[in-house]
Structure formats: structure tokens, C-alpha cells
């Protein structure tokens, strides 16, 4: 199979769903709002033209809320209750290259020394069918972080939109071939965003100007909502909390974000990242310096979701393009 | 499937109240096999939990030579510690660990040891003190300077007296001016001042300094004046943690994950890190 009409793709998706696979793709949940969401029907899948969902497919691997285990208290004895071990197969359809590339990046943090097996099980059960981008918007900057509108990283198969109601298909991995068969198509029409900044420059500035007023000045508008982190394909910070009471309940992992003041607050009241500027710096510093130092690549795929979803016009691109190319001064 | 976040269940075998808001709890693994295999290095930490309240990070304040139980110490300040405060002998709490990089006690062999602590910072020093005393011939002269705001804020007071009984050990207790009681026999003053007055040669010694930021800030210059090399001066950071295993993303101090690369650092290492702790 090397070409697939929209109808043929919907038919395939219907078959996958009938086989019990969870299918996730871009869905217009209300007018003007598109989210990667579990499909109720193959007809929900948005296939006409380029659309950038407001969230990312990281939810397939790192759910917003995940029960780690349950607990039951009987007098002073406690029983821990494991979660079911079986993970349903899930397929991300029409992910973007900037979503797919997030997966191998996340693999590293969830497996250095300590392996997060719940993450790995979901990763194993996930197939990513990526739709190459035919256009970009002003927030896109994949080409600034080494990716591109047809980048294959993290994808099991690629679809290329020929604009005539059909896709060319290229299967890249065993998982991709299992769903779409052998297929070797070349990339179709594309429209790459210009290179908008140098991530090394951003890293250098964050390191050399760690306590610079720059951060506070540019964070003044930030309301600390965390939308940037929640919609980011690679932001992975989480909290672990108990939900329940002294008798029974669950210990759960919930998304967290470095933009929240409580994120780093010590019990003593001391907070190493006391101001919103410190927290905005942390986001840039982690993505372009800490992660590359640890794992050899940036913690950013250039999707632009942070800026698109920010209520006050911040985000990676708006912030780093403000970084002056001045000589470093000691903070 | 191995669950990284699932704790060991521990039986509470002892509770000690040290001050109006500080307790330490002794724990034994419920699983005897796990108890047999469990080892740690003094200075490492654990994630302790009260079910229904949540998890918190504390140093394991017992010596790694004590094979039958571990201890941790906490101040009642929040949701989890309020719940731990209610714990009684026979209850069950959760423990994950031991995590992080402990004290390089092997590298410290043959050297004098200087322990400088303030307030609730005694527990992460106490484990190292006991370890050194139990391996007494491996270490030189041991000096402990421990201070708190008031006499009532000192923790592990009975053990301070026990340590002083050992050969080549000097224990100096102090309280901030105004914090003394009529029968107070220790020093009056702040830890850095009292330590400087004691004129302990710090040149070839290893120092461990843990306490509130203001104490650390004022103690480092004293150590420098007394000849300490910053590569021989250690502390333990306490950045907030949730996972303890390098995933939850909040404890980094600059490029360093405190949970994995710390919590123990030399001041030479800290000087190379940005002020993010």
C-alpha cells in the first residue's frame, strides 16, 4: 500500500477500533478547538488540511492523571493494590512530526538508571502514524531544533498529504508495517518554517544570565497557568499525591509544571525559584541546557504549542527571540 | 511489572519526640527478605509516606551499620508530616529508597571530621556521626558543633552526650543568645562564632555543614579562615522532590538533579552550580 484515500484511511481506522485498539487523532471538539482525542468514530478524524491540535500525544504515554497503585488500610496493616498490567494498544493518527519526535526524547528521562515500566508499557503499546506538515504557522519552529515538517523521528509510519484527498504512505517500523503494510512513498508537498533562533544561543544566555533581570522583565505578564507545559509534547514534570482518605484510596501521578510557585517550595518556606522570572528561566534553561547536558538533545520539538496556548503571548519562541545577542556579563 | 513508585511497607517500631514539633521514627521492613538485602550509604535519603496524606523526602538518619531498622526525623509542618506525627508503634508507613549520593565515607578515612549543624539539620549529620563512631579507628579527631535557636529546639540531645563519651570526640552545643535556660551548660552564640572560638584545625579535615542558609553562609568563611579546602567541605541540599529518581523534574539545581547527583555536594561543586537551591 503506498497511497490511501481519506475514505480508505477512515475504513482502516474503523477496523483498528473494531479490533479494540484505542485510536487517537485530531478532533474538533468545539468550533475552532482541535485536540488530539480518542476517536469515538473514524468520521471524527480531521483530515482536511493542516491543523495543529492544542495538546500533544504525550498523554498517551504520560496521562494527566495516573493511578500508581491503590492502598487499603485495615487497622494498622496496609495493603497495596497493583494496577492492571495489561495496556491496551493505542494508535496516534495524524500526529505531527513535532509530536512524534517527543517520544524518543521522553524515553530517555523515563529510563535513565531507574526504568519507569508503566511508561515503557504504554510506549510499547503505542503506534504513531505521523502526517507530514503541508504548511506552518507563525509559532512553528521545528527547523530551529533540528526537526522539520517531514521529520521521521519517533514515527512508525508517515502519511504525506497530496492535497487530492489521498495520502502517500511510508511505513518506517515493524509497528507501522503491521498496520499499513509495506509502503515506501517519498515526501509530498511541504512548507518548512524558517530557522528562527539558535538553541545553543538560548542555552548560553540562560547559563550566563541565570539571575538576569531579563527573566523577571519578560515574565511580568505570566499568570503561571502552566498551559505551556501541559500542551508541550515533551514537558513531563509530575506530582505524586494521595487521593483518598486514611482508609482507602490511591497514590496518583498528576501533571505538574515548573511555572507553578508551589512546584519547588520547600517545607521551610524557602523557594529556590521564588519569582515568576525564575520559573520562566527554568523552562528555557531546562529545555535548552539541562536536558542537552544530560541527554544530548534539546527538550523541545519546536511545535509552538506553548506560544499558541499562552494567554499572554509568552512561550519558548516569543521568549528566546527576545534574548539579546550581547556579550555575556556575570550575573 | 516492576513499579518504581511502589513503596516498601515498614512497621513502625519506635517513635521519639525531640521537641514540640520534631519526632523521629524507627522502621523495620515488613518483608524479611527485603530487610536482609537492604543496604544504603549514610547521607542517602528516602521517600517516606503516610497513606492518605502522601509522600515526603527525608534523610535516613540512622547509621548504615544498623541492619535491623532505619530511622528518619521530621518537623511537623505540612500535610504529610501532620499525618506522620500521629503514627504510633505498630503502624505501617511507606518507604522508597535509598536514593541519591551519600557521604563518601570511604574517602573520608584517615581524616579528622568536623560536623557543624543547626536546628533540624542534626539528623543528616547524626547518621554520619554514628557511622564514624562505629568505625572509630578509621577516622581522626571528631568535632561536633551543634546549635539551635533555643534549648528546646535541640534534637537528639541524649545522643550528643553519648558521643562526647567516645575517645577523641569533642561535642560543643550552643544556643542563640536568648535561647538559653537557667541551667544551660553549653555555649551561647551562633554556630559559626562558637566554632571559630573553638579553634579546630580544619586544614586536612573533612567538614560536613548542614543547617539553615544563614548558618551555612556564615560558616563557610570561618572554615576558609581555618584552612579548610572547599573540596573537603560537604553539605546536603534539600530541594523539593516528588519521585526521587530523576523523572518528576523539580529538584534540579542548575544542571544537577539533586535526587540523583546529590543530595550530598562539596562546596567546590556548589560553587560551580547556579543559585537554584
Q: Could you report the per-residue pLDDT of B209-254, keeping only the tens digit for each?
A: 999 889 999 999 999 999 999 999 999 999 999 999 999 999 999 8
Residues B143 and B85 in one domain: no
Q: How confident is the model at residue B1 (pLDDT cuts 50, 70, 90)?
A: confident
User: Taking CB atoms and an 8 Å limit, are B240 and A237 in contact across chains?
Assistant: no
Residue B226, domain member (yes or no): yes
Residues B44 and B146 in one domain: no
User: Cell 513535532 appears where?
Assistant: A98
User: Taking CB atoms and an 8 Å limit, are B249 and A237 in contact across chains?
Assistant: yes
Residue B1, domain member (yes or no): no
The average pLDDT across B180-191 equals: 96
pLDDT in tens, B56-113: 999 999 999 999 999 999 999 999 999 999 999 999 999 999 999 999 999 999 999 9
Residue B275, domain member (yes or no): no
Residue B39, domain member (yes or no): yes
Residues B128 and B189 in one domain: yes
Domains contained in chain B, number: 2
User: Taking CB atoms and an 8 Å limit, are B3 and A68 in contact across chains?
Assistant: yes
Within 8 A of A110 by CB-CB distance, chain B residues are 247
Which residues of chain B from 61 to 100 reach within 8 Å of chain A, CB to CB?
A: 75, 77-78, 81, 88, 90-92, 94
Model pLDDT, residue A328: 40
Model pLDDT, residue B276: 86
Residue positions counted in chain A: 331
What proportion of chain A, given as a percentage, has pLDDT over 90?
Answer: 86
Q: How far is CA B1 from the centre of its chain?
A: 34
Question: How many helical (H) and strand (E) elements, i.e. helices and strands, does chain A have?
Answer: 12, 11
User: Taking CB atoms and an 8 Å limit, are B51 and A78 in contact across chains?
Assistant: yes
User: Taking CB atoms and an 8 Å limit, are B238 and A293 in contact across chains?
Assistant: no
What CATH number has the domain bearing residue B155? 3.40.50.80
Average pLDDT value over all residues in chain A = 93
Window from A84-93, A130-139, A186-195, B147-156 with minimum mean pLDDT? A186-195
- The answer to whether residue B149 neighbours chain A at the CB level (below 8 Å) is no
Question: Would you say residue A329 has pLDDT above 60?
Answer: no
Q: How far is CA B154 from the centre of its chain?
A: 14
Within 8 A of B91 by CB-CB distance, chain A residues are 76
Model pLDDT, residue A48: 79
Question: Would you say residue A162 has pLDDT above 90?
Answer: no
Within 8 A of B55 by CB-CB distance, chain A residues are 240, 242, 251
Candidate from B212, B247, B252 with C-beta closest to A116 = B247
Cβ count within 10 A of residue B62: 23
Residues B90 and B40 in one domain: yes
Within 8 A of B10 by CB-CB distance, chain A residues are none
Question: Would you say residue A327 has pLDDT above 50?
Answer: no
Residue B104, domain member (yes or no): no
Residues B140 and B195 in one domain: yes
Q: How confident is the model at residue A224 (pLDDT cuts 50, 70, 90)?
A: very high
Window from A105-114, A180-189, A221-230, B146-155 with minimum mean pLDDT? A180-189
User: Taking CB atoms and an 8 Å limit, are A78 and B49 in contact across chains?
Assistant: no
Residues B171 and B208 in one domain: yes
Residues B118 and B202 in one domain: yes
Residues B121 and B232 in one domain: yes
Within 8 A of B45 by CB-CB distance, chain A residues are none
Q: What pTM, to 2 d.p., does this model score?
A: 0.93
Which are the contacts of B191, defined by CB distance < 8 A and separation ≥ 6? B116, B117, B118, B145, B146, B147, B174, B211, B215, B218, B219
Domain membership of residue B26 as a residue range: 8-99
Please tell me the distance in Å from B202's CA to the nearest CA on chain A.
Answer: 30
Which helix (H) or strand (E) covers residue A79, if one does?
strand A77-81
Window from A239-243, A324-328, B101-105 with minimum mean pLDDT? A324-328
What is the ipTM metric for this complex?
Answer: 0.93
Residues B163 and B213 in one domain: yes
Contact B125, B154 (CB under 8 A): no
Cβ count within 10 A of residue A221: 14
Question: Would you say residue A187 has pLDDT above 80?
Answer: no
Residue B262, domain member (yes or no): no
Please tell me the distance in Å from A126's CA to the nearest CA on chain B.
Answer: 18
What proportion of chain A, given as a percentage, has pLDDT over 70?
Answer: 98
Give how far Cα A9 sits from Cα of A14, A51, A174, A178, B163, Å.
9, 17, 19, 15, 75
pLDDT in tens, A4-49: 999 999 999 999 999 999 999 999 999 999 999 999 999 999 997 7
Give how far Cα B198 sits from Cα of B108, B121, B172, Å.
22, 21, 9
Please tell me the distance in Å from B145's CA to the nearest CA on chain A.
Answer: 22
Within 8 A of B274 by CB-CB distance, chain A residues are 207, 210-211
User: Taking CB atoms and an 8 Å limit, are B2 and A117 in contact across chains?
Assistant: yes
Question: Would you say residue A107 has pLDDT above 60?
Answer: yes
Model pLDDT, residue A189: 79
Residues B227 and B121 in one domain: yes
Model pLDDT, residue A330: 43
State the Rg of chain B over Cα.
18
Q: How confident is the model at residue A331 (pLDDT cuts 50, 70, 90)?
A: very low
Contact A258, A277 (CB under 8 A): no
Average pLDDT value over all residues in chain B = 96
Residues B123 and B185 in one domain: yes
User: Taking CB atoms and an 8 Å limit, are B2 and A210 in contact across chains?
Assistant: no
Residue B220, domain member (yes or no): yes
- The answer to whether residue B260 neighbours chain A at the CB level (below 8 Å) is yes
Strands B264-266 and B256-257: unpaired
Candidate from B4, B53, B255 with C-beta closest to A114 = B4
Contact B133, B142 (CB under 8 A): yes
Residue of B nearest to A288 (CA): B255
Model pLDDT, residue A1: 58
Distance, in Å, from the CA atom of A328 to the CA atom of A265, rounded to the nearest integer, reads 30
- The strand order across the sheet containing A65-74 reads A77-81, A65-74, A248-255, A238-244
Question: Would you say residue A122 has pLDDT above 50?
Answer: yes
Residue of B nearest to A263 (CA): B250
Residue B200, domain member (yes or no): yes
Question: Would you say residue B39 has pLDDT above 90?
Answer: yes
Residue to mutate among B1, B45, B98, with most A CBs inside 10 A, is B1
CA atoms B147, B152, B153, B156: torsion sign: positive
Model pLDDT, residue A190: 85
Nearest to A104, CA basis, from A291, A255, A281: A291
Residues B140 and B225 in one domain: yes
Which are the contacts of A245, defined by CB distance < 8 A and separation ≥ 6? B52
What CATH number has the domain bearing residue B74? 2.40.30.10
Amino acid at each position: 500500500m503506498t497511497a490511501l484515500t481519506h475514505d480508505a484511511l477512515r475504513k482502516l481506522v474503523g477496523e483498528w477500533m473494531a479490533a479494540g485498539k484505542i485510536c487517537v487523532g485530531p478532533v474538533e471538539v468545539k468550533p475552532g478547538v482541535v485536540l488530539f482525542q480518542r476517536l469515538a468514530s473514524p468520521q471524527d478524524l480531521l483530515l482536511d488540511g493542516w491543523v495543529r491540535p492544542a495538546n500533544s500525544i504525550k498523554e498517551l504515554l504520560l496521562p494527566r492523571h495516573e493511578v500508581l497503585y491503590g492502598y487499603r488500610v485495615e487497622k494498622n496493616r496496609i495493603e497495596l493494590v497493583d494496577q492492571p498490567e495489561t495496556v491496551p494498544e493505542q494508535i496516534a493518527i495524524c500526529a505531527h512530526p513535532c509530536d512524534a519526535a517527543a517520544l524518543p526524547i521522553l524515553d530517555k528521562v523515563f529510563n535513565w538508571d531507574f526504568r519507569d515500566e508503566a511508561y515503557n508499557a504504554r510506549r510499547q503499546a503505542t503506534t504513531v502514524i505521523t502526517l507530514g506538515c503541508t504548511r506552518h504557522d507563525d509559532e512553528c519552529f521545528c527547523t530551529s531544533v533540528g526537526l522539520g515538517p517531514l521529520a521521521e523521528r519517533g514515527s512508525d509510519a508517515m502519511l504525506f498529504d497530496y492535497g487530492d484527498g489521498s495520502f502517500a504512505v511510508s511505513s518506517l517500523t515493524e509497528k507501522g508495517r503491521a498496520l499499513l503494510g509495506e509502503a515506501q512513498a517519498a515526501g509530498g508537498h511541504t512548507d518548512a518554517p524558517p530557522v528562527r533562533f539558535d538553541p545553543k544561543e538560548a542555552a548560553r544566555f540562560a547559563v550566563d544570565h541565570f539571575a538576569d533581570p531579563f527573566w523577571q522583565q519578560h515574565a511580568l505578564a505570566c499568570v503561571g497557568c502552566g498551559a505551556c507545559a501541559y500542551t508541550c509534547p515533551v514537558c513531563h514534570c509530575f506530582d505524586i499525591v494521595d487521593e483518598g482518605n486514611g482508609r482507602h484510596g490511591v497514590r496518583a501521578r498528576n501533571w505538574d509544571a515548573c511555572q507553578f510557585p508551589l512546584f519547588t517550595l520547600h517545607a521551610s518556606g524557602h523557594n529556590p525559584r521564588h519569582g515568576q522570572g525564575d520559573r520562566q528561566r527554568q523552562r528555557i534553561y531546562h529545555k535548552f541546557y539541562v536536558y542537552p547536558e544530560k541527554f544530548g538533545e534539546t527538550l523541545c520539538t519546536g511545535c509552538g504549542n506553548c506560544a499558541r496556548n499562552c494567554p499572554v503571548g509568552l512561550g519558548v519562541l516569543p521568549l528566546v527571540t527576545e534574548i539579546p545577542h550581547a556579550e555575556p556579563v556575570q550575573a | 511489572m516492576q513499579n518504581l513508585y511502589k513503596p516498601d511497607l515498614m512497621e513502625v517500631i519506635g517513635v521519639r519526640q525531640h521537641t514540640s514539633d520534631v519526632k523521629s521514627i524507627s522502621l523495620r521492613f515488613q518483608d524479611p527478605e527485603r530487610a536482609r538485602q537492604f543496604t544504603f550509604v549514610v547521607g542517602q535519603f528516602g521517600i517516606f509516606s503516610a497513606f492518605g496524606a502522601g509522600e515526603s523526602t527525608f534523610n535516613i538518619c540512622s547509621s548504615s551499620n544498623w541492619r535491623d531498622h532505619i530511622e528518619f526525623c521530621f518537623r511537623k509542618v505540612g500535610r504529610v508530616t501532620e499525618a506522620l506525627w500521629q503514627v504510633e508503634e505498630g503502624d505501617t508507613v511507606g518507604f522508597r529508597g535509598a536514593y541519591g549520593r551519600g557521604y563518601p565515607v570511604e574517602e573520608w578515612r584517615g581524616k579528622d571530621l568536623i560536623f557543624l549543624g543547626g536546628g533540624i539539620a542534626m539528623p543528616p549529620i547524626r547518621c554520619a556521626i554514628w557511622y564514624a563512631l562505629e568505625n572509630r579507628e578509621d577516622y581522626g579527631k571528631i568535632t561536633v558543633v551543634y546549635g539551635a535557636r533555643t534549648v528546646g529546639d535541640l534534637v537528639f540531645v541524649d545522643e550528643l552526650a553519648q558521643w562526647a563519651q567516645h575517645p577523641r570526640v569533642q561535642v560543643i552545643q550552643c544556643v542563640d543568645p536568648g535561647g538559653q535556660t537557667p541551667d544551660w551548660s553549653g555555649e551561647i552564640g551562633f554556630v559559626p562564632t562558637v566554632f571559630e572560638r573553638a579553634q579546630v584545625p580544619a586544614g586536612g579535615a573533612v567538614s560536613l555543614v548542614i543547617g539553615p542558609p544563614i548558618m551555612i553562609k556564615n560558616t563557610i568563611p570561618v572554615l576558609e579562615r581555618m584552612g579548610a579546602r572547599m573540596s573537603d567541605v560537604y553539605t546536603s541540599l534539600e530541594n523539593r522532590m516528588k519521585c526521587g529518581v530523576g523523572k518528576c523534574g523539580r529538584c534540579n539545581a542548575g544542571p544537577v538533579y539533586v535526587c540523583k547527583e546529590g543530595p550530598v555536594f562539596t562546596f567546590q561543586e556548589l560553587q560551580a552550580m547556579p543559585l537554584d537551591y
